């Protein structure tokens, strides 16, 4: 038995060893195949390989020449591959100073007309957009789209960040120093010298930030008043941080010199002669005008008609759209107002007595929305618009509203026959509900 066992052992061991060696060889060959086969990467090194690939991609640099022409970037779209290091060489051939700003904060800084700047846009991994950050210029279309090839996203945006809608209650509760609407009679002098200082500041409106740009730190700017044939000498001082100018609709002058942009820290004198009666708009003449007007840079010049009669009270109700934040005007504004602030004459009603006649001058500064001037509970027994009477006082007829498109002006006259509270509104009622409302409290 022992002889039989010892005789079979060498063959058995040889068989097991051979099988083990064969198995080990298969495993080694398989591992080598996984490791060494071209195009195959072990799972443990995939992250490292991906990082190396991105690093290699990021070394690609693409330089693009972009030119400012008018209020546009040319080209306005740049296509890049993922991971491209993008450099923009900006040349300003426009008439105004501009910049190029990115969401990451990279910026060319302000580039004057005729100057150049080099902007490092960084490594671009996904589609994005750059723009000119000068107030209102983005809304005018000064955007530069950077599109990553193969990206599903599209960087094109509306160019306007809509202002958050503010509730009526918040607007009604937002108190601020009252802008007096009472008008003084025209001075006897036939020559009027006025100084207007242009500045910028920020304030809060119902908890929302609002950039305010002003003439003499007020909205609307000072009211100028005279008669046909009077001369006006207006000295303008720009104490702001951007270019401003002025356009007096009451004057008949060449815009080339009178309305030219006034750089910060400089002054300019604007002269005109009043040739026709009316209430004439004046406003900032710098582009985009919609933004400058909506931020508060407007006012009125009243040139009295020769047949203007006496009344007990005269008020100015200059209507305008408001811009919130530092954005420009919207075609459908969130907030509108008489004399720059919504509902201020609801919080502080105007006081008159029964039987008194009130003349309400109004100009629609816009820049976009219409005005239908209406007094709830009263008839307009006098209306005068854009140089002519619609309803003459004492004629025995009356009107219910007077419409004013942007840049139009006129006045209405009303006599209150009973005590009570009478609302003056923009009868485009959604605008009345957004701030264009004032109240007259009539007592015996």
pLDDT on residue 140? 65
The answer on whether 284 is annotated among ligand-binding residues is yes
Residue 68 lies in a domain: yes
CA angle 299, 301, 305 (to 5 degrees): 145
Residue 366 lies in a domain: yes
* Mean of pLDDT values over 294-305: 97
Residue 157 lies in a domain: no
Per-residue pLDDT tens over the stretch 420-433: 999 999 999 999 99
Residue 110 lies in a domain: yes
The answer on whether 427 is annotated among ligand-binding residues is yes
> Same domain, yes or no, for 144 and 290?
no
* Short-list 412, 408, 420, CA closest to 444: 420
Contact 294, 367 (CB under 8 A): yes
Q: Indicate the DSSP class of residue 134.
A: S
* Mean of pLDDT values over 296-308: 96
Last residue of a domain, one of 120, 148, 176: 148
Residue 159 lies in a domain: no
At 122, list the tokens.
């960084």
> Same domain, yes or no, for 209 and 301?
yes
DSSP alpha helix (H) spans, 215-318: 255-258, 289-294
pLDDT on residue 169? 73
Domain span at 307: 168-443
With cut-offs at 50, 70 and 90, classify the pLDDT of residue 19.
very low
Q: What number of helices (H) and strands (E) belong to the chain?
A: 7, 27
- pLDDT > 90: what percent of the chain? 69
In this structure, the strands spanning 77-80 and 143-148 are parallel
Q: How many domains is the chain built from?
A: 3
Q: Quick one: which H or E segment has residue 273?
A: strand 267-273
Pairwise CA distance, residues 394 & 225, whole Å? 26
> Same domain, yes or no, for 234 and 88?
no
Position with higher pLDDT, 264 vs 159: 264
* Mean of pLDDT values over 37-61: 45
The answer on whether 313 is annotated among ligand-binding residues is no
With cut-offs at 50, 70 and 90, classify the pLDDT of residue 395.
very high
pLDDT on residue 403? 98
Question: Radius of gyration over alpha carbons of the chain, in Å?
Answer: 36
Q: Name the pTM for this structure.
A: 0.71
Last residue of a domain, one of 102, 118, 148: 148
Pairwise CA distance, residues 277 & 388, whole Å? 9
Domain CATH code at residue 136 = 2.60.40.420
> Same domain, yes or no, for 199 and 244?
yes
pLDDT on residue 139? 64
Residue 158 lies in a domain: no
Average pLDDT, rounded, for the chain: 85
Residue 357 lies in a domain: yes
> Same domain, yes or no, for 100 and 17?
no
> Same domain, yes or no, for 81 and 222?
no
Last residue of a domain, one of 148, 181, 200: 148
> Same domain, yes or no, for 370 and 274?
yes
The answer on whether 283 is annotated among ligand-binding residues is yes
The answer on whether 137 is annotated among ligand-binding residues is no
Which of 85-89, 333-337, 348-352, 425-429 is least confident? 333-337
State residue 35 phi and psi, 5-degree precision.
-75, -40
> Same domain, yes or no, for 298 and 174?
yes
Residue 255 lies in a domain: yes
The answer on whether 297 is annotated among ligand-binding residues is yes
How is 194-224 classified by DSSP, letter by letter?
Answer: EEEEEEEEEEEETTEEEEEEEETTBSSPPPE
């Amino acid at each position: 038995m022992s002889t039989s066992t010892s005789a079979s052992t060498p063959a058995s061991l040889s068989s097991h060893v051979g099988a083990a060696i064969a198995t080990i060889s298969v495993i080694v060959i398989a591992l080598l195949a996984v490791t060494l086969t071209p195009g195959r990467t072990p799972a443990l090194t995939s992250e490292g390989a991906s990082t190396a690939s991105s690093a290699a991609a990021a070394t690609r640099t693409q330089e693009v020449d972009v030119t400012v022409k008018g209020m546009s970037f040319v080209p306005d779209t740049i296509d890049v591959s993922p991971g491209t290091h993008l450099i923009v060489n900006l040349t300003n051939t426009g008439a105004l100073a501009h910049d190029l700003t990115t969401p990451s904060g990279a910026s060319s800084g302000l580039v004057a007309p005729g100057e150049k700047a080099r902007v490092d846009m960084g490594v671009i991994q996904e589609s994005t957009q750059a723009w000119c950050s000068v107030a209102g210029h983005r809304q005018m279309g000064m955007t530069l789209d950077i599109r990553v090839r193969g990206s599903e996203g599209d960087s094109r945006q509306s160019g306007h960040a809509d202002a958050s809608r503010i509730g009526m209650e918040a607007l009604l509760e937002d108190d601020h120093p009252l802008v007096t609407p009472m008008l003084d009679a025209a001075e006897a002098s036939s020559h009027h010298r006025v100084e207007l200082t242009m500045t910028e500041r920020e304030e809060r409106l119902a908890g929302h930030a609002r950039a305010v740009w002003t003439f003499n730190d007020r909205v609307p700017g000072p009211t100028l008043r005279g008669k046909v044939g009077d001369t006006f000498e207006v000295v303008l001082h720009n104490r702001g941080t951007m270019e401003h100018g002025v356009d007096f609709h009451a004057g008949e002058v060449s815009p080339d010199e009178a309305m030219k942009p006034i750089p910060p820290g400089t002054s300019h004198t604007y002269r005109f002669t009043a040739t026709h009666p009316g209430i004439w708009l004046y406003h900032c003449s710098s582009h985009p005008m919609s933004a400058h007007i909506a931020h508060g840079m407007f006012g009125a010049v009243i040139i009295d008609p020769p047949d203007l009669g006496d009344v007990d009270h005269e008020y100015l109700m200059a209507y305008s759209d408001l811009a919130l934040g530092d954005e420009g005007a919207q075609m459908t504004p969130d907030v509108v107002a008489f004399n720059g602030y919504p509902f201020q004459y609801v919080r502080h009603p105007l006081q008159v007595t029964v039987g008194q006649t009130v003349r309400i001058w109004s100009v629609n500064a816009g820049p976009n929305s219409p005005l239908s001037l209406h007094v709830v509970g009263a008839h307009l027994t006098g209306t005068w618009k854009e140089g002519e009477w619609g309803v003459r006082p004492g004629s025995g007829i009356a009107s219910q509203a007077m419409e004013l498109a942007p840049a139009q002006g006129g006045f209405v006259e009303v006599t209150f026959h009973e005590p009570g509270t009478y609302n003056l509104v923009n009868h485009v009622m959604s605008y009345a509900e957004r701030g264009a409302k004032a109240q007259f409290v009539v007592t015996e």
